[in-house]
Chains A and B, each alone.
Chain A
Amino acid sequence: MTLTSPTTRLAVLSASLLLSACATVTSPTVGNNVSYGDAKAVEQVNEKFGSTDLQMIAEAMARSLAESQAGARIKPTVTIAEVKNKTSEYIDTRSITDSIRVQLLKSGTMRFVTDIAGMQDQTDELNRQSQSGLYKKSASAKLGKMEGAKYRIEGNITSIVKTGGNLKDVYYKFSLIMTDVEGGTIEWADEKEIRKTAKR
């Protein structure tokens, strides 16, 4: 089917109109005991590490990293290593680096290669396609084609907690560095500080 014939064009146009019309219809709701909030709303429930902190860090780091690559002709390949949690709080640092990666991929400034955490699944799939004999040779992934990372990103998050009277002060510092894998030189580094004070 091509889009050249008038009939086909009309059919596609009608379908598009129909779909766009559907999109404007408000979804029906069931019950009213639960309300949805803005995922980006500033969360100030308590002084512990929260969604706003995660979003602030990811945004600041992704912006800074993207700026560091502005004007580069070739998108560098990058891998994200571990961000060490040096606080006593249960902070899922992988969730932070996931957000940074999403924002950088969306901005199109970098390409990401499989990180250490995903390597097992990657090699399993590669081995299955290339060695199991189950797949068409012409369409299956071949060994030896994986790309290595030019840069490695890693970092840490630390905190200082102080309590006095009915005040609790928490200071977070999230530091990230990007190292040239071959040369071992640090090509970029930045940090994001957050201070939160809570009254008991």
Chain B
Amino acid sequence: MNRFFGPMRAARNWVPYWASLAAALILTGCAGYQKQMGSTVDAVRAGAADAALADLEAKNAGSGEKDLLYYLEKGELLRMKNAFQPSLDTWNVADEKVRAWEEQAKLDPSKLLGNIGSVVLNDTTRRYDGRDYEKVLLSVRLALNQLALGNWEGARIEIKKMHEREAVIADFRAKDLEDAKASAESKGLKATSFKELNGYPVETLEAPEILALKNAYESAIANYLAGFIYEASGDPSLAAAGYRKAIELRPNQPFLESALAELDGRAQQGVWLKDPTIPAYEEAVKAATDPKTGKLKKGIKLPPVPLRKPAVDTLILVESGLAPAISSRMIPIPLPIPSKGGLQVVMTPISWPVLEPVSALDQVTGLSIGSQATPLTLVTSVDHMARRALADEMPGIIVRTSVRAIVKGAAQKVIQDNAGSMGLAGTFLSIAAGVAAVATEQADERTWRTLPAFYSAARVALAPGEHTLTVQTPSGPTTKTIQVSGRHAVVVLRTSGNALYLAQAPYKPAAAQVIAEPEPVLLPVNRVDEKKAVNNKAEAKKQDAGKSDAKSSGAKPTKPPITSPGTVKKETAT
């Protein structure tokens, strides 16, 4: 130690020493998030949610305040374990942090746009506020947790909060872009696009499906879910906006288009299961009808009028994969570094964030309900959203990183200029500063890793009660038993490795009671009176059944005895 400090004391020049030490200190950095999360992510991939949670907790042990990412990751792992209430509580803490960001974005966005720490050190020193799509998808996940707990009102509130969040993000992002442009101009920086970084893997951010996205935070799945929740709460006008927006964000998908096209029909008539005997009945009516008169032929006995039964309008979401990881990649760029002789253009090594690819195999394509294959549509790729988010953030990152590199370059210059007067210590310090300048350059790798990469969906009319769902995963078909009741239900399946996690609303047997009513079938003229009689009889029977059900279980009849034909009962949450 004396050998180190001795010559420095001998130099008796403390000013350059402290300047050099300070310069060396600001070159220190911290470890990458991907390395930190590696074992947790591996456990999730292996389908071991318990082990992943234990690993996450071990890494975050200590009394210090936990950051947003900890709560995001923990909430996801708890949800996988079907611990919906603890997951909701955890994500509510994360939501508080995002709301604090929203308040700051609304009241004083300049504080969020400029961040001294990130300019001097690196982006990992910034408080992690979550990427735009993460903030919005947090609302989606909160809504899904509320649904898993059977709280449709709570889910509606989360969706409403999501709309407000999207509006705040839109305003902030516009300001961020303006700020990045202004900063770049004032610093004389020419490169503000990732396309101008020679050696950057441009293709990771420039695929057509990424460019086709309207922005990085609005997703078809969020808006479709909003539409479904609004429809279930008896708000078709709001539901229409949700479905329409989902179509705009992901056009030409029959799954999304049919939700809007059939909305009026569902709102007015409800969702019914068709009696499988209907085709045979229609054939029988056709055969018994005199083609000349359009009336029933005499003496022919028709089969019983088919019945229709109320169905549960069921949204099946299949989540798969993990959101893409971000890694650091060193690419040198020419920067004007201040020196004694004025500005010198120096090739400066800078660490840039690069999104790692996700496996397309993670995407689930096959779904069967019982033995019936059901088409599954990819509604949202979080992978694409993450890439679009990074592409949108890159101008700001480039400006911050370039300014930081200039500051570091100037700091190195101070050390080198004073190294001669500090003897051996100066030499060490100069070498250390040079090494640190490269080693501490760290792109911001933080991102919500346990978030699903793909959201696929199907919508089916199911009979109230039990059904089996089979999903084709990379490890083969996996089956889960679900139970649905009420008028609407949301069932969420998540694949991870060999594991298939299920989240569904609590089953209410009372709400699963089925009361059938005659199927409206076009009848020949002289059959109409007979049909009316059947209708009246069935209606009377239904009313009786409804009354006794209501008395015994508190359940309401599927259709009230005194309502207009278009009446649809407000959602009884299941």
Contacts and interface: CB of A to CB of B under 8 A. Distances in A.
- Whether both chains belong to one complex is answered with yes
A88 B249 CA distance: 11
A77 interface: no
Interface stretch (A23-31, A79-87, A100-108, A134-142): A79-87
B566 interface: yes
B372 interface: no
Interface residues of A, number: 27
A117 B244 CA distance: 23
Given A82-B236, A119-B563, A120-B560, 4 more contacts: A48-B167, A82-B237, A90-B241, A92-B235
B554 interface: no
A86 B560 CA distance: 30
Contacts of A92: 235, 237-238
A152 to B, nearest CB: 11
A123 B560 contact: yes
A90 B163 contact: yes
A120 B245 contact: no
Interface footprint category on B: 20 to 34
Contacts of A40: none
A126 B563 CA distance: 12
B567 interface: yes
Interface string B216-259: 00000000001000000011111011101100100000000000
B238 A90 contact: yes
B12 interface: no
21 contacts: A82-B236, A84-B236, A84-B264, A85-B237, A85-B240, A86-B244, A87-B244, A88-B241, A88-B245, A90-B238, A90-B241, A91-B237, A94-B237, A116-B566, A117-B570, A120-B556, A120-B560, A120-B567, A123-B561, A126-B562, A131-B547
Contacts of A10: none
A5 to B, nearest CB: 51
Contact of B562 (A116, A117, A123): A123
A86 B240 contact: yes
Q: Taking chain A's interface residues, is the majority helix, strand, or loop, or is none over half, making it mixed?
A: mixed
B567 A116 contact: yes
Contacts of A91: 237-238, 241
A116 B241 contact: no
For the complex of A and B, 7 pairs with smallest distance between CB atoms: A85-B237, A93-B237, A123-B562, A123-B560, A90-B241, A88-B244, A88-B245
A141 B264 CA distance: 33
A147 interface: no
B235 A94 contact: yes
B446 to A, nearest CB: 30
Nearest to A96: B237
Interface string A121-150: 001101100010000000000010010000
B360 interface: no
